[in-house]
Structure 1
C-alpha cells in the first residue's frame, strides 16, 4: 500500500464503484465514511483536500480534538464507536451523526441535550449480527420493539442500521452477518413506524467493505485502507474495547 493518502483514497473509491456495479448500483449509492482514529489531523487533512467530506471517529475526546484541529474544512463527522451517555454533550459539539445507537438510555440522553440545543440528529441503530459478547448492539430480535420506542424521541432521526461482521477469514460468515442486517432493514422499511427513512445500511470496514457493498451496504467505514496500518493494535489504544470499535 502506498503512503500517499490521496492515491489510496482514489483506490478505495474505485473499488467502491466496482463493488457497487456488481450489486447493480452506482458508486454514488455508497457513502464512504473515512475512519480517522489514531490518525494525526494533518494527515487527515490530506484526505479532506482530496475531496473526502465524511469522517468517522470512535472516541469522543479524540474526535473533538481532531474536529478542532480541522476547523474551517468542509467536513461531516460521524460518531461510529460505542457512546457513553455521559459523553453526549461532547459528541454533539462535533458530530452530525451517531451510528452506534444501541439502547434507550442513550436515546434519552441524546434527546435531552438535542432539545436543549434545538437540534435534530441522524442516528443509526447498531445491531450485533455476529452474536458475539465482545460487541455492542441490539440482538436482531430486539430491533422492532426498539424502533417503536424511538417514536417517543422527536429530535432523533433514525436513518437505518449499523453492524460489524465477525472478524474472520471466513467470507461466508462475513456475508451472513451483512445479510442479517439487510434482512432487518428490509423488514423495518415495511413494518417499522419510520418506514422508508430506515434505508441506510452501515456495514463493511477496510477488510470487508467490498463484500459489504455486494450485500447492500449504503455506508462503509474505511480507515486503514487509506491511512495504512496503525502502529499498534486497537487493543493497545482501547484495551476495554478491543473488539467493539465501529469501523476501520
Structure 2
C-alpha cells in the first residue's frame, strides 16, 4: 500500500537517491515493479533528511502525487544529505488527513514509515488502544492506521526500548490482534536503520563501509540487491546489514548479511 526507502551514505543531493535511478522511488509512485497491494502511490509523499551537525531531521510532505510537485523536483536537485527516509503513499482508506497522513512521521531524531495496512481498521486495532497513554492518543499525527502504528512504536522508544525491540514487539502485538496485518516498518535516526518485513516486499543493498539502502523494492538492477525474508527484523548502518527472525523480537542479530 506504499513504497518507501531509507538510505545512509556519502552526502549527495536527494534527487540522486530518490529520482535519478531507473526504477527510483519517484517512478514507483506510478509504476512499482514488485508492489503486491495497490497499483498507484498517488495519495501523498514525504521525504525526511538529516543535515550535517543537526540530529533533528527536516521533512517535506505533500498530500498529492510526487510527480505533480515541481517544487520538490527543484528542492531535490540542491538539498544534500547523507541520511534520508522517503515514502510514496497509497492510502488504505479514503480520509481527510492529507499531508499529515504522509510518511515519514517524525519525533525528535526519529523518522518512521509504514508500508502495509491493518485490515478492518480501526476496529481491528481497538484492543491496542490501552497500550497508549491518553495524551499519546490525543496527539496522534493523523487518524490513519500508520499514524497509530507510529504512536505505539514511539511510546516504546520513549520508554527506553531499543529500536529493534520497539518495532518487533509492535508488529507482534498487531498481528495477534489483527492477524492479516501487513507491517513493513522503517525507522531511522540518521545513523542506523531498523526495519521489519511482515507481509510485503523489502530489499536491501549495501556497500560495507560506504552506503546502505533499505527499500520496498530495488531502484535499479544492481546484483548487490538482496531480498529480506518475510517475518524478519533488519538493522543496518553504513557498515552493513544484520537480519534476525521477527518471531523472536528479543534476538540480537549476530551474523552480517552482505
Q: TM-score, normalized by length of structure 2? A: 0.31
Q: TM-score, normalized by length of structure 1? A: 0.32
Bigger proportion of residues as helix = 1
Bigger proportion of residues as strand = 2
